[in-house]
Structure 1
């Protein structure tokens, strides 16, 4: 293996930032709806082997190579495993809790078992195999393969189809039909947006965070899905982050990221590890993107699904006031503390009350013990509260209804809460 340059701080090279800005313009559009896959991955042993000898490159040159990559045609297989330290989101739980799932998907409700917003949530945990294909901004296909079933999401021109073979249900919607700033047609509003779905998209999201709080370097080579690649390593300089490092395997010829691995600072297996086991950069057959619902399949149109969205007949309005939830607009006093990898979101829960304490008398003892088991009790200058932990994202909810959340340790959350007082 050829030697590589010493660790290079992004603060020393404005060219890195320029490369990152350009990189965000080139996203392989594998799944038009995206995948709930900020937490998707590839078992490394299945994807990487060898240590090919390649010409030396600097971190800046490799980032520029990613930015210059204009890959829009490919097909292949992605192996996915996720370890957030959470219970599995598969099956009925995913269908019932995911936004847009209606009454849990299918059955007697207005929802559909093929609705992407509920089905793709299953990728948030466990191990999965995907087949992907893309031919420009108007043709993409993603299939999730199970032992005895297959779920497919197909974008072809103005049409978006999703089909679940297990339930024999299909979901149909229309693209907005007009190109946005990126030159791509907008996805239907019911489908997830802005969620990384390929190693390339995940890599670009990571590079957005690379500022003077980050070190970026090239650290050797690898072979992924039979292709020679460089390893780009991104690490937080700050202490207190739950992110240990991010490693991106970049195809040496095309500049396309082939594998993305996020390891936690606490050690152990990767939290996010996404990559190809097979990849072909040739043009997929046009028939790949054709879809006709099978005979007897229940077909749900986008407009019909909206009637059952979130289990409410009026499309997501609450029981009492009929007010539609608008996401961040409804969060009270959302504030960001800190910078870089140690950024912490601070907000206030409606009603100004957090998790009931053991001495409040507001809940029965058995229920209180259950609540206490969900997280770690902490206290400080801010008062007291509960920290809910995963291997990547942690959140502190104080008894007076404040929330502090981020990819940081429990101690960092307590420190932020104390400083806010």
Structure 2
């Protein structure tokens, strides 16, 4: 784990904090293990934050102290309501919604209750979640929909997904979903887990749907290319909080800033907001609208498949193998790119170009001919491709850049892929340099 940035102008302003997760090991489960806190002490300033007029009047705190507070937080019981808003700038999928998002990640014949597919839907639009946790073995996340509800329940060894709209149930076990064996999830030398790449830390059974899931990834990313400051106080879900602000120091990234509202009393992240450098609405905004740290009723985590429901057992699915499925990190990875990437994961031959927030992941698909145009594909898919892609050229040859408000990807006509939270120009430069 790289040290945090040296800029800590702890000023004032901020957002409230949020409830904890159902984590079993407080330091290992947060992305701020003790070793990181120690390094941070030497690299983050200790100028205290002061409250602005109208904000909660809280004791002064430095970024270093606030990070330590998050790391020391051991709240394991909570319940509440979370609002998730994601605006990647994608066009309306229209008729593609079912084809691209429906079914399990492993294929179109999977269960609609498979969490691999369902949780990924949080990457688009606005969603309201009901969340609850009671220790490391009982968590529940319910996605509220029009006249329907999807629930992901972890109770002991069992992990259940239930889609009330289709009356389908997906069942697997905590071990199948990626849960670590005892003693295997302690932070490695880089703070990412035993093997240094996050494997074995958390699986689907520990996805809480709260700002903490997002905050821990952002804190992992903080390094020499990052400025970490405290920017005041505020209230979230009726609780006083400090606001921790993470900003890239590099120029080539599309990330503007990340704000994490940290509960002043518990150290739990209550709100997470990621804004793009281009301005406008937040790309990701996740926050509690209501929260309680009281012990949830035991019945909250009980689940029995309803009569007549189709039950799919997921233990033998390929994407569950060894805990390497889409939820292996507890969060759909495309929602929050990790600066610098993790070279140990991804397609064979993947390499990371650059560092920090300007890092670009590159690999060769081996496919020739480039991305077909919309007219070649036709239909809804053709229109979708045209709405995303821009033809570009350079020393590398020709290719197509697919863009969102945060992540851009260049696919060259000779089958190479360059992707990152960087500008289109940065992708073209990387492709040219790789020639």
TM-score interval, normalised by the smaller of the two chains: 0.7 to 0.9
Tell me the distance in 2 between the aligned counterparts of 1:369 and 1:297.
Answer: 36
Task: Specify the alignment match of 1:93 in structure 2.
Answer: 99
Instruction: Supply the distance in 2 between the matched residues of 1:280 and 1:206 (Cα, whole angstroms).
Output: 25
Measure how far apart 1:204 and its partner are: 1.6
Helix, strand or coil for the counterpart of 1:63? helix
Where do 1:225-236 residues align within 5 Å? 225-236=237-248
Aligned-residue offset at 1:182: 3.4
Q: Work out whether residues 91 and 122 of structure 1, in 8 Å CA contact, stay in contact via their aligned partners in 2.
A: no
Superimposed CA distance per residue, residues 315-335 of structure 1 (whole angstroms, 9 cap, x where no aligned partner): xxxxxxxxxxxx988835211
Alignment check: 8 A CA contact 2:103 2:114 kept: no
What displacement does 1:27 show? Answer: 4.2
Point out where structure 2 has 5 or more consecutive residues left out of the alignment: 9-24, 32-53, 187-192, 194-198, 321-342
Q: Matched residue of 2:426: which SS?
A: helix
Q: Could you say which residue in structure 1 is the equivalent of 2:296? A: 284
How big is each residue's C-alpha offset from its partner over 1:174-224, in whole Å with a ceiling of 9 and x where there is no partner? 22284352389xx99xx7589784211211211111111111111111100
Candidates 416, 423, 426, aligned match of 1:402: 416
User: What residue in structure 1 maps to residue 121 of structure 2?
Assistant: 122
Name the structure 2 match of 1:203.
215
Please identify the structure whose Cα radius of gyration is greater.
Answer: 1
The verdict on how the C-alpha distance between 1:364 and 1:56 changes in structure 2, with shifts beyond 3 A counting, is closer
Q: Distance in 2 between matches of 1:11 and 1:352?
A: 45
- Aligned counterpart, 1:262: 274
The CA deviation string for residues 302-343 of structure 1, in whole angstroms up to 9 with x for no partner, is: 25x739x89xxxxxxxxxxxxxxxx98883521100000000
Higher RCO, Cα 8 Å, sep 6+: 2
Q: What residue in structure 1 maps to residue 434 of structure 2?
A: 420
Flag the 1:161–1:23 CA change in 2: closer, same or farther, 3 A. closer
Contact 1:98 1:121 in 2 (8 A): no
Distance 2:272 2:398 in 1: 38
The structural deviation recorded for 1:95 is 4.4
Q: Deviations over 1:128-176 (max 9, x none)?
A: 1100011111110111111201111111111111111111221222222
For residues 123 and 223 of structure 2, the distance between their equivalents in structure 1, rounded to whole angstroms, comes to: 28
**1:106 aligned residue:** none
Listed one character per residue, the Cα deviations across residues 268-315 of structure 1 (whole Å, up to 9, x for unaligned) are: 100011111111111111111111122222222225x739x89xxxxx
Structure 1 stretches lacking a partner, 5+ long: 1-7, 14-21, 29-49, 104-110, 311-326
Residue correspondence of structure 1 range 156-305 to structure 2 within 5 A? 156-176=155-175, 178-182=181-185, 192=204, 197-303=209-315
2:77 equivalent to 1:73: yes
- Please point out which of 2, 24, 28 is paired with 1:25: 28
Correspondence for 1:322: none
CA distance in 2, matches of 1:100, 1:366: 25
SS of residue matched to 1:232: strand
Q: TM-score, structure 1 length as denominator? A: 0.75
Q: What is the CA RMSD across the aligned residues, in angstroms?
A: 3.5
Q: Which residue of 1 aligns with 2:365?
A: 349
The equivalent residue for 2:347 is: 331
How far apart in 1 are the matches of 2:59 and 2:301? Answer: 38
Contact 1:356 1:399 in 2 (8 A): no
Please tell me whether the aligned partners of residues 132 and 139 of structure 2 are also in contact (alpha carbons under 8 angstroms).
yes
Count of residues in Structure 1 that have an aligned counterpart in Structure 2: 353
- SS of the residue aligned with 2:82? strand
Q: In structure 2, do the counterparts of structure 1 residues 97 and 335 end up closer, same or farther at CA, with 3 Å as the change threshold?
A: farther
The 1:374–1:231 alpha-carbon spacing in structure 2 relative to 1, beyond 3 Å, is: closer
- Match for residue 140 of structure 1? 139
Moved more, 173-182 or 133-142: 173-182
Per-residue deviation at 1:250? Answer: 0.3
* Cα distance in structure 2, aligned partners of 1:116 and 1:27: 22
